[in-house]
Each structure stands twice: as structure tokens, then as C-alpha cells.
Amino acid sequence: MKRIAVLGSTGSIGTQCLDVVARLPDRLQVVALAAHQHHERLWQQAQHFGVRHVALVDEQAAEALRQRQPDLQVYAGDEGLQTVATLPEVDTVVVGVAGVCGLAATVAALRAGKSIALASKEVLVAAGHSVTALAKERGLPIIPIDSEHSAVFQCLQGERVEAVRRILLTASGGALRDVPLEELPYVTPERALQHPTWRMGAKITIDSATLMNKGLEIIEAHWLFGIPAQQVQVVIHHQSIVHALVEMQDGSVLAQLGLPDMRLPIQYALLYPERVDTGLPQLDLTQIGTLTFAEPDPRRYPALQLARDALAAGGTMPAVMNAANEVAVARFLKGEIRFTDIVSCVRAVMDQHQPTLPTLEAVQHADTWAREQARLWTSR
């Protein structure tokens, strides 16, 4: 029986994680849950899984839940996330929270000897060197939940990193992949949220439309697998069936295929190295028929180069890029800026930043600064 804490349990990754747990009651047990502010949904999850320890980042939401359920142990704030991530009864921490708050909780969990099942891109984007070094020092695994990194992780089982020529991360192209370039400035949030293959949260769906999600994944792959960024490439794959490919030095190409269902990489991360049938939908290639691949158009997806620039600059620059992007996406969803302004905003904030060593304190400071700059940014 593996005992897990789920950070971000009310979000897309968290709810799918709990679905996987429900399918494996003899193997997985939830002992702690954490969310940002949806205390009603968190309470329902706690009831369903018999959880006594929960955390809410929002202080008011935490107090509301305490008043309603005095028998429940409720922790609050970023410190609350760290508390549930380090409980003695926790074996593995699923990090599915958005934002830099997941970074401190991940670091705390590793220091407490917990294995990490990682879905939050921000953790490795903001502080990949520190987090991976800490995991190595403690001899603890970081198993990716992102479908692309899970695919790479699976392809590399039994392989030496030195034998890898390049990693190919696949991208659907997002909801706007067929919209004429001249129309992109005028697309609405509703249109940009209509993803053709995946069902995800709003922020990641917009990141898929800009391909910033792939930019973040290039940085993640660099830290997770120790591969130079120039050996990590992106290909457009509309069907979302091949989640990643790994080309070896001898020319062989390994690939991991599966339906676009996040429960598959979640289950793999939680049960690794075991594989069991839990009744999830199965892939039938005869029904898919055709698989296509293409180079991403840099005019349509300038965020890819932005991410490479951030990684090349190093230090706190990736954290600044990530934070500015989060704010820019939120502003687009509110109708404050245009779709094409997202990358422009992020680039402008990055241009103002002088990167420093990415200590935890420096990353948090850079994150706060970048968010404020992105809120103040106006289109020229």
C-alpha cells in the first residue's frame, strides 16, 4: 500500500489522480489533500477518501473549512502545503498545484524523504538545478506525470542518457493551430479554450495554444533527463497519440503511444515500475488510422524560442518567464489583453530582468517581481 498526498486535488490533475486511486484501493491510499481555495470540493474529496489532513492556500477558505468541520485537521497558506507534503505517513507526494508555491512544497517533501510524482511545470522551470540536485542527494525519484515527460521516462528505461541523440516532444498545436496568422490577435478566450484533443484546465489550454507549454517542457526535459536543450525538439502531432519520441545514437527511434488521457501517466507514476489493468480506455490504432508530424511554425509559436532564451540566460530568468506567462494568460482570459499580447508581455518582462543565482529565496522574489511587472504591462 502506497500512501500519497495530492497537492492540487481539486484541479484537473488532482481529480484525475483521485480517479486512479479509486481504481486501485488495494494499492493506493490518500492520506492528505491540498487545494488553493475550493474548500467545498476539498471537503467532499476528504469525505470520500477518509482523509483527515487537508490544506488550503487561501487563508479565508481554510478558516471557513475549520469552522464547518472542526474535526478535520486543516492547514493554511504555503506553509500548509509544506505541512501535508511532509507528514510522516506520506510516502509519495503528487505535485499538481499551479504556481511557484509548488516549488517550496516539493523541496520540503524531498528533504523529508518523500518520493515525488511531478505534474507542476513550475517546479523544474523555476529551480530545476536545485530540485534535481536535492533529489539526487537524497536518493529520491522524481517521476514525471506530464504525458510527454512520462513518455520520455518510459522510453529511457534500460537506456543510457549518453546513447540519446535527441528527444522529440509532441504537441497537438492547440486550439488555434488552423487559425490564419492575421486573425490570431482577435481570437476570443472562448475560442482559444476549445482544445481539439485534450481536456485540461484553462491555463494549460491557453499554453497549448501559444505552445508555451512545450517551451516549459523543453526546460523540464533538460533538468529531468540531463539532456542539453538543443537536443530537445518539438514536433506538431495533431492526433495526440504519440506523446514523445527518443532518437538514439544508432538512429533507432523509441516512442510511447497512448490515448490522450492523463490518468495513464498518473497511474504509471504512482505504481512505477508496475503496470496493471484498471479498466482505462485502450488505444486501437486501427481506429486512429493516420498519425502525422510537422515542424512548428515559429511565426505562430514564438513562445518556443522565448523558453529557449530563458533557459540560455539561466539563473532566475526561467522563473520570471513562467510567472509573467501565468499573469499574461490570466489577463487574456479576462479580456484585458489580446492573444498575441501574451508572448509580447512575457518578452517585455524578461527584457527588464537581470538573472541571479536561482536560490529558493531568489526564485520567489523573481516570481513576485515578474507577476507585478506583467500586471502593469500595456500593449504598445
The pLDDT tens digits for 29-88 are 999 999 999 999 999 999 999 999 999 999 999 999 999 898 899 999 999 999 999 999
Q: What does the pLDDT average to over 227-256?
A: 97
Torsion sign over Cα 253, 256, 259, 260: negative
Q: What does the pLDDT average to over 78-107?
A: 93
Encode 344-373: b = buried (16+ Cβ within 10 Å), e = exposed: bbbbbbbeebebeebeeebbbebbebbbeb
* First-to-last C-alpha distance (Å) of the chain: 56
Query: Is residue 197 over pLDDT 90?
Result: no
DSSP 127: H
Pairing of strands 53-56, 28-35: parallel
Q: Describe the crossing of helices 202-210 and 341-351 by its angle, rounded to 10 degrees.
A: 90
Comparison of pLDDT for 232 and 203, the residue scoring more:
232
Query: Is residue 100 over pLDDT 80?
Result: no
Pairing of strands 53-56, 253-257: unpaired
**Which of the four pLDDT bands, split at 50, 70 and 90, describes residue 99?**
confident
Q: What does the pLDDT average to over 278-307?
A: 96
What is the pLDDT of the chain when averaged over all its residues? 95
Pairing of strands 53-56, 232-236: unpaired
In angstroms, the Cα distances linking 68 to 58, 74, 94, 278 are 16, 11, 27, 35
Q: What does the pLDDT average to over 270-299?
A: 96
Q: What confidence score (pLDDT) does residue 379 get?
A: 83
Q: What does the pLDDT average to over 229-235?
A: 97
Q: What confidence score (pLDDT) does residue 215 get?
A: 97
The pLDDT tens digits for 144-187 are 999 999 999 999 999 999 999 999 999 999 999 999 999 999 99
The percent of residues in the chain predicted with pLDDT above 70, rounded, is 100
DSSP 334: T
Q: What does the pLDDT average to over 350-362?
A: 95
Angstrom distance (rounded) from CA 107 to CA 101: 10
Query: Is residue 284 over pLDDT 80?
Result: yes
Q: Which residue has the cell 510527454?
A: 148
127 within 8 A of 187, measured Cβ to Cβ: no
Angstrom distance (rounded) from CA 198 to CA 66: 36
**Which of the four pLDDT bands, split at 50, 70 and 90, describes residue 101?**
confident
Q: What confidence score (pLDDT) does residue 305 get?
A: 97
